[in-house]
């Protein structure tokens, strides 16, 4: 019983310390793949999400019929560390546009580059040190 209380307090302290904006390695949802439209981009979004999951990331896909600005704003308010935006052009070129929490810009990478980058970022600090 005392252990559970200690864990609850610890989680509360973490939430308060990070104001809900957890680092990518600690966030419950690390990446949201947001499709601009539900046609080819929607299928590509599912493919991107599957690849990210294979790399060990916690991913959700947003294929709702909403504007991309609405989706980005909503997931930013939910404090998701990375939003991967994919549209018809990205699907054709096999790329993703990454938007990081707290940044207005986006980074366009190939799917393979994004996988390597995000998989490295998602490692807890102690595992990053162990691999270097």
For range 5-32, the mean pLDDT: 89
Please determine, for residue 1, whether its predicted confidence score (pLDDT) is greater than 60. Answer: no
Helix axes 40-54, 111-121, angle to 10 degrees: 40
Please determine, for residue 118, whether its predicted confidence score (pLDDT) is greater than 60. Answer: yes
Please determine, for residue 29, whether its predicted confidence score (pLDDT) is greater than 70. Answer: yes
Query: Which of 107, 34, 30 shows the shortest CA–CA distance to 68?
Result: 34
Sequence spans of domains, the chain: 20-131
Query: What topology is assigned to 20-131 in CATH?
Result: Rossmann fold (3.40.50)
Contact indicator for 60, 32 with CB cutoff of 8 Å: yes
For range 52-78, the mean pLDDT: 95
Burial of 30 (0-12, 13-18, 19+ CB in 10 A): buried
Average pLDDT value over all residues in the chain: 90
């Amino acid at each position: 019983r005392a252990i559970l209380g200690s864990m609850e307090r610890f989680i509360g302290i973490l939430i308060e310390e990070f104001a809900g904006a957890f680092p990518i390695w600690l966030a419950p949802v690390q990446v949201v793949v947001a499709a601009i439209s539900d046609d080819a981009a929607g299928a590509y979004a599912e493919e991107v999400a599957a690849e990210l999951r294979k790399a060990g990331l916690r991913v959700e896909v947003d294929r709702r019929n909403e504007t991309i600005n609405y989706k980005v704003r909503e997931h930013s308010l939910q404090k998701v560390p990375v939003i991967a935006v994919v549209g018809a052009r990205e699907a054709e070129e096999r790329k993703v546009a990454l938007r990081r929490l707290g940044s207005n810009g986006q980074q366009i990478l190939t799917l393979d580059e994004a996988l390597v980058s995000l998989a490295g970022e998602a490692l807890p600090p102690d595992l990053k040190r162990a691999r270097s």
